[in-house]
Structure 1
């Protein structure tokens, strides 16, 4: 039934009748609702909803349903997305020398845990610098970055994203700060993993900063990229307890495990249309 299953996400100013209007539309179109989640943000007055539905035997065509949803969206001033589940998103992975997140994402993709297509892997280092990751059969692009070539290489990344019809860019420990221009082009579809529990310990060497402060918990944060460094809307976080016996190297080692699972969860949430932007924050409809 995957080819007949779709996901609708929407956000709009809150008012009575939104849920009834959506469910009535799908019922009259001959669809069955499989899962529905909603959230009313009383602080902003906005309403958020995610609906998974499938078309039954006598249902309208997907095109007709899409047209009806577009009309409804105009009526309620909705921002919305509609995607058939069978249409997997195309993902570009950017990495530098630390490849533990890249290796984890590729493994989860190969075993079917991440429903995506890898459109490209881009690194500012040659492939032999990440030799511990199996890149067999995957399109790899070496785009070295210097102070002089940074803008040229960013233009190439953007061109590559367009050529490969990339839906999502993942900075899997890509140790380069994206320019304001590229960040704006990728708004809402570029995820970064930061090796710290934001908003604390931003920037370089957060584990060393945490060690100097004697923290008892370390963490990692996956967030959407914006022009403000490490300030983008947060998608997923996790922590692990440490002690005074742990050195900065211990924190880095333990942090790798947190980074892998946090980034994988954030990417999966995005792939399944579970993340809706809410200003500087996100609404994440988990299982």
Structure 2
């Protein structure tokens, strides 16, 4: 294991979410349950969308990609976090950089998927007659590919900048994952370039999507409240409410980490906030988009009936 003054750290120790022994086992079972629910929920939603032709629409195409992304990035983070509750959690330098890359890739991708979903709802409610033309399969595909490309570019930028950092202030990461802020605290070289990249990448990945979503929903709500039909207004609000909740939870918790000025004693607070958008949000999204969605409930009912009959 690398010593505190070794400039070529080969592995890190992840301290985990808490150092209180009496909380380790209860938290292990809690987050194991959360992870199982997250995997089953997102995988179930993916299967439902694939198996039911009436869900092969732009809205569910984006929801399919959202569930896939949630499934992937929760799997990048949660299993390693679970290890830290039961034993000393060692992670090699290469594994740490890989986790950082895939975490950044999927989180940035999710930002742009949520933005595409907001644009989809804007077109559906504000320009319903042009919906099929505007949200053609080609346009949906380009939006999704664009999101994945942005995720890849952001992840590459973060990872390359982190690879140039020399770690010589110890190898203990006060976190349950290889996130950028706790890693930079271990650096004994200048991190100004890393901080600039964080500012640019997070700015583009959070501010641009947030503004796009805000503008989209300004037009959407304006259009909804100008409707004369109470039934039509209620239906339009219902189709948008799930997405608005998901956007608020994800962007609210993730932006808190990267855009606040971090005082020295806020490490535990940062970890709790990170848990929310890396572990809890992927579990909650399938329920947010399913509980009030008649199409998903119908698809689930049909799929279960087919399974029983076969």
For the superposition of Structure 1 and Structure 2, which TM-score range results when normalised by the shorter chain? under 0.3
User: More strand by proportion, 1 or 2?
Assistant: 1
Normalised by the length of structure 2, the TM-score is 0.26
Higher helix share: 2
Q: TM-score, normalised by structure 1?
A: 0.28
